[in-house]
Amino acid sequence: MSPVRLLSIFRKTLREQSRDLWLLALSLVAAPFFVVLYWLLFVGGSTAYGVLVLNADRGAALADGTVFSAGAELVAGLEKVTYASGSPLLRVRRASDLESAKATLANRDAALLLVLPEDFSEGILVARTRATPPGSPAPDPPAAPTVTFIGDLTSAAYAVSSVLTLATLDEYLRAATGQTRPVELAEEPLGASGVRTEFETYVPGLLILSVTLLIFLAAMTVAREVETGAVRRLRVTPMTSFDLLAGISLNQVLVGVTAVLLTFGTAYLFGFRSQGPLWVAVLVGAVTTLSVVGLGLVVAAFSRGVTDAFVIGNFPLIFLMFFSGAIYPLPRTALFTLGGHAVAIYDFIPATHAVVALNKVLTLGAGLGQVAYELIALVVLSAVYFAAGVWLFQRRHLRRR
């Protein structure tokens, strides 16, 4: 290894990159662009889940001559379900008939259809008047009216909106009938998760995205040296594969860290706030960059040109994006335990640790000490992937055959 050669390769790659502004700009602004896009999508900071209500409740006359409309009261209650910031959680709309409401659901214009029966109010009144003091014999149970939830059970939006609606309905029924719970329920948010807007919860994923996309840039930059034959020219010099790949990687890491900073900067501009120290999150991003670049080198080792690098790069990209928990959680089957940490197959994917670490820092307010395990795992994986990339590249492209 020669630091002079390494720096020379770094400088050369930097020059080439600065003359390929489109590629550089796309690598740097991809994640910030998506941050802005997400902010625009979640106006007010969070999603409001669409709930359609088909309110057939005809109400019930009270002894004083007034009409009790439980359906209308419930709808009003649903409209008051908000985030901590005051933004609505449910976007409640009235449906006129069942068929058109189902069509709306099928078009995904709403997540849930709540059908309140004609005798909804009457059922509540019956339950209220039959409430018996403790110790008295229980009367025969009345025929209770049925409230129906309709929705696509595979939809995550349905799951969220139905839980929220059910909780509101349950609360309303309890209050309206004067019943008390045998036990009280309490919810305690972990860290600052209770006050995070949905926009804020997406920022770590976008950050991972910005870093993950570097796999293409790293692989293509190295593969270009193969495609143009430059590696052949360099093979007759005393340069080593470590010099070449470390020089190029240094450059890619610089791009990656810049992308991370730009992403955080943009997110901050649009209201994102980290609960933990931001520098720790940046550090996590930087170390993740190292490991993704290492994976890029492995891709480059199997590529004979830029096109190969792009096609082959998709394979690890899918692992990074879909098997790391960045998009959705996956079942974990522990392979072994290391220092009290259960290690699963996904733990060999750098993004897995990055997702956990960023969530801890940004949402739960963790500091450096609480993400030490993830950082160490990222450093080890970076070293392993980089070493594998150097070894494979040496064997496939720099070895004198």
Partner 1 sequence: MTPNPPNGAETVLRAENLTKRYGDLLAVDRLSLEARGGEILGFLGPNGAGKTTAIGMMCGLLRPDAGETFVRGRPVRGGDPEALARVGLAPQSVILWPKLTCLEQLEFVGEMYGMPRPDARRRGRELLETVGLAEKTNKLARTLSGGMQRRLNLVLALVHDPEIVILDEPEAGLDPQGRVLVRDYIRSLARERGKTVILTTHNMDEADRLADRVAIIDRGRLLTLDTPEELKHRVGEGDVLEIEVSDAPGEAPGPGGGAGHPVLRTLEELARARSGVGAAGATGAARAAAVSRVGHIITLRARDAVNLVAAALDALRSAGFRPGAVHLRETTLEDVFIAFTGRSLRE
Q: Which residues bind partner 1 (CB under 8 A)?
A: 2, 4-5, 8, 12, 15-16, 19-20, 228-230, 232-239, 399-401
The single-letter DSSP state of residue 188 is: -
Nearest distance, CB of residue 248 and partner 1, angstroms: 13
Beta carbon nearer to partner 1, 15 or 130: 15
Q: How far is the CB of 311 from partner 1 (least distance, A)?
A: 22
Q: How far is CA 338 from CA 123, 341, 347, in A?
A: 58, 5, 11
Buried b (16+ CB within 10 A) or exposed e, 361-383: bbbbbbeeeebebbbebbeebbe
- Judged by beta carbon, residue 17 or residue 263, the one nearer partner 1 is 17
Nearer to partner 1, 11 or 128 (CB): 11
Q: Which is nearer to partner 1, 128 or 399 (CB)?
A: 399
Element (H, E) at 216: helix 214-227
Cα→Cα distances 142→138, 139, 319, 375, Å: 11, 9, 55, 61
Least separation in angstroms between residue 49's CB and partner 1 is: 50
Whether the Cβ atoms of residue 83 and residue 46 lie closer than 8 Å to each other: yes
Minimum gap (Å) between residue 225 Cβ and partner 1: 9
Q: Based on CB atoms, which residue is closest to partner 1, 128 or 304?
A: 304
Nearest approach, Cβ of residue 218 and partner 1 (Å): 17
- Residue among 35 and 218 whose Cβ is closer to partner 1: 218
DSSP 3-state percent helix, strand, coil across the chain (nearest 5): 60, 10, 30
The residue (of 18 and 129) whose beta carbon lies closer to partner 1 is: 18
Q: Which is nearer to partner 1, 156 or 230 (CB)?
A: 230
Q: Answer for the pair 48, 89: CB distance below 8 angstroms, yes or no.
A: yes
Question: Measuring CA to CA, which residue among 49, 393, 98 is closest to residue 225?
Answer: 393
Closest to partner 1 by CB, 181 or 401: 401
Is residue 184 classed as helix, strand or coil in its secondary structure? coil
Cβ 234 to partner 1 shortest distance, Å: 6
Both tokens of 272, joined, read 């994102």
Nearest to 208 by CA among 352, 22, 25, 24: 352
Q: Which is nearer to partner 1, 20 or 170 (CB)?
A: 20
Residue that the structure tokens 């409309």 belong to: 69
- Nearest C-alpha neighbor of 293 from the set 343, 247, 342: 247
DSSP-H helix ranges across 278-371:
278-301, 306-322, 350-358
CB of 297 to partner 1, least distance (A): 19
The C-alpha atoms of residue 381 and residue 128 are separated, in whole angstroms, by 63
Min dist CB 222 to partner 1, Å, is 13
Q: How far is the CB of 86 from partner 1 (least distance, A)?
A: 53
Q: Shortest approach of partner 1 to residue 215 CB, angstroms?
A: 22
- Residue placing its CB nearer to partner 1 in the complex, 58 or 235: 235
Q: Least distance from C-beta 235 to partner 1, angstroms?
A: 6
Cα-Cα-Cα-Cα torsion 130, 133, 138, 140, nearest 10 degrees, comes to 0
* CA dist., res. 378 & res. 351, Å (int): 8
Please give the full DSSP string across 360-389, using - where no structure is assigned.
IIIIT---GGGGHHHHHHHHHHHHHHHHHH
